[in-house]
Amino acid sequence: MKFSESLYENVKDIWESYYNHPFVKGIGDGTLEVDKFKFYMIQDYIYLLDYAKVYALGIVKADSEEVMQGFSSMVDSILNGEMSIHRSYMKRLGITAEEIKNTKASLDNISYTNYMLAVSQIGGLAEVSVSLLACMWSYLEIGRNLSKNPGATEHEFYGEWISGYISKEYEECTKWLIDLVDNLGEDISDKEKKKLIEVFVNTSKYEYMFWEMSYNKGM
């Protein structure tokens, strides 16, 4: 069994809960209130700025030029790829750069990003990679799950969001990170694997908390 498969087995139930969360289901069937989505978009934009910093730590921790290039590309992909989806929605929702600048990250948001940054700064390349994986991989799976809904990708408002997370570019980025985690998991001890599984479980729980926070608008 590949290490990524082992990681997934430990969070399968948590990830299943994403698909049934009212925020995620609301995107899929088009019923999510726009004000909740707006709250999410602002918080997620703030989150992605710190998420990109964790990828930047991957450049620092990398042990080869090839891996450094990979992490560099991922930073660029987040700042100029994934975040372009957010910028598109911000125009549609009337969210200004000033509004984002003046919005504080929610407590759940701060807790999640601080956890990833702490794990990555203290640990090595494996910790960096695994701490990033739950977010990237689960969004691909959520996008795939939602795209099964008839007409979901063509929805006038939420279709763009779903399509972005099942795009070829996003899928390739996710595969790169999964493959890296599998390579890093080949030559580590069971004790090290146990620590990394804990990180993956924790970040997967944080993902659920982010959906919950978004649905309740931080309350």
Instruction: Select which of 82, 127, 135, 173 is catalytic.
Output: 135
DSSP conformational letter for 148: T
207 is catalytic: yes
**Beta-carbon neighbour count of residue 31 at 10 Å?**
10
Task: Quickly list DSSP for 38-70.
Answer: HHHHHHHHHHHHHHHHHHHHHHHH-SSHHHHHH
Residue 187 pLDDT more than 90? no
Contact 185/193 with Cβ under 8 angstroms? yes
156 is catalytic: no
Give the pLDDT band of residue 179 (cuts 50, 70, 90): very high
Q: Whole-structure pTM over 0.85, yes or no?
A: yes
* N-to-C CA span, the chain: 41
Q: Which domains does the chain have, with CATH numbers?
A: 3-215 (1.20.910.10)
Q: Residue 159's closest CA among 68, 27, 21?
A: 27
Distance CA 199, CA 206 (A): 10
Residue 152 pLDDT more than 70? yes
For 81-123, the pLDDT digits (tens) are 766 778 888 889 999 989 999 999 999 999 999 999 999 999 9
**Helical segments of the chain, H only:** 3-9, 12-19, 22-29, 34-61, 65-77, 83-93, 97-101, 107-122, 125-146, 159-164, 168-184, 190-215
Residue 30 pLDDT more than 80? yes
Instruction: Select which of 82, 127, 173, 207 is catalytic.
Output: 207
Contact 70/176 with Cβ under 8 angstroms? yes
Give percent of the chain with pLDDT exceeding 70: 98
